Structure 1
Amino acid sequence: MLKKIDKAATYLAQNLKALRCPICHNGFNIDKYALVCTSGHTYNLNKKGSINFLTTKADTTHYTRKMFEPRRKLIQAGMYAPVLAEIEKFVSDGNLLDVGTGEGSFLNQLDVKGGKFGFDIAKDGIQMASEYSELAAFFSLADLTNLPFADQSMTTVLNIFTPSNYKEFKRVLASSGQVIKVIPDRFYLQELRQAFGMKVAYDNQEVVDKFIDNFPNYSQTTVHYEFELPHHLQQDFLSMSPLEWQVSEQEKREVAKHPPQVATVHVQILQGKKS
């Protein structure tokens, strides 16, 4: 069985044209376990098969394994299965880039006929994503404002619950490419918000409007359902979201005595075409 670093090197060799150097924007060659651009900038594969393209420090403070592990458990338990099923209706054959991939579970569960690429700024997330031994994909630490992917190299840019950079998205998209953006709607995780004493309903219209400004040729789909939380994952639900950062340890302990038993998933899926 191939080591992860060998699998990644083979995957990169097959997909070199999809990458570019984030410093000089030239193409890459692969030299054993390293990408080397035509200007000599070198990026080494680590033993898990990922690369750090960042010129600044990775996030090791906010989005950590402590949050990603419960999120992974809930994704694997099917909490987002209807959302992913809807996304798959839009995904076209060709390369897919998962923006802010986190710990990689969304990308792992999507059936894509083409290359899979995921990046994040969170070090723990990319380390966990690289643990999916069965997943044929390339993961990297990268900057949203300076993507290490070539012009017109992606058919689909997937943007689930993460920030956007539409200038870079348009650059890496093929002429007939698309962005699929998933944003929370007003009742998303309302049980968690209610348990933490936060405002339940909120408005994301500004985010929708910005998307439409960049992709006037768009469609919008609402997905709204309740997911029954398995008993053994109810405590994980409390720590799967950045919402918990706003709550004291004492408040968390009180909520943990009677955790929510269902989770509302209420999202908008926006599909924007480049052409």
Structure 2
Amino acid sequence: MGNVTSSVAARFAFFPPEPATYEVFREGGAEGRLCLSGLSPERNVAVHLVETKVGNRVVATFWRHPLARFTLLYSHGNAADLGQMLDLFFELRAHLRVNIMSYDYSGYGASTGKPSEFNTYYDIEAVYDCLKKEYGIKQEDLILYGQSVGSGPTLHLAARLQKLRGVVLHSAILSGIRVLYPVKLTFWFDIFKNIDKIRQVNCPVLVIHGTADDIVDWTHGKRLWELSKEKYDPLWIKGGGHCNLESYPQYIRHLRKFINAMEKLSVAKQTTQSSLPTSTITEVKHNKCLRFGKR
């Protein structure tokens, strides 16, 4: 059954750029540090090859900000790879003052393997493990960001992590089939069943969607927001399409407002915990992002 689902997904959900828009290489030979073409050293970006539980090697980049309070784990859309999104990550890091961990799905860019729904889940799990082991990032300091099809792996991980700081859903889908057909029921062969997983997310959820999105109708975002347990003020960008929301000034303003709210929430929780008895304390550029259609 899983193989059937994966084949359905591969047929209409994954469009990795061919050829890849970047290369990964080692500076100074086999023992040198990993580098990504198009990234100069002064941009302060670390490159990783992360192995998933099924043996694929996924390219991940960690964009460090010296004053970061939070880390954004960014899952991109289905018709882009990391090479096309470098300028966006550079701008987000600067304006939001966050670290950013971005990665390419299996079969995208220089990542090995083949694209599939379940591989995207293994990919984000492996990248999250890298964040914990290499950088000591805690759930409380992590915000998951899913753009378009990237909302699938984002909500997969968010439903499993109970102490996340927040989730951002950007032009997100209710499920794969619902992008193509307005079905009411969830079928077993559907992919990225976000409509079910959003109900298991226990942190603040920000939804961003364009009202003129002609690929994923804005009602997908509206329904995901309605089903969220902890709703943050959504951003409906009037006239915004599917792949151009970053060009609207309210996009970065609203994201910055959300980050600031998460910082205040974190401080408030720490203050509340510290006042309790010790025994009760417990631990912009447009980018290609999604296409649908049979190959």
Q: When the two structures are superposed, what TM-score results if normalisation uses the length of structure 1?
A: 0.37
Q: Which has the higher strand share?
A: 1
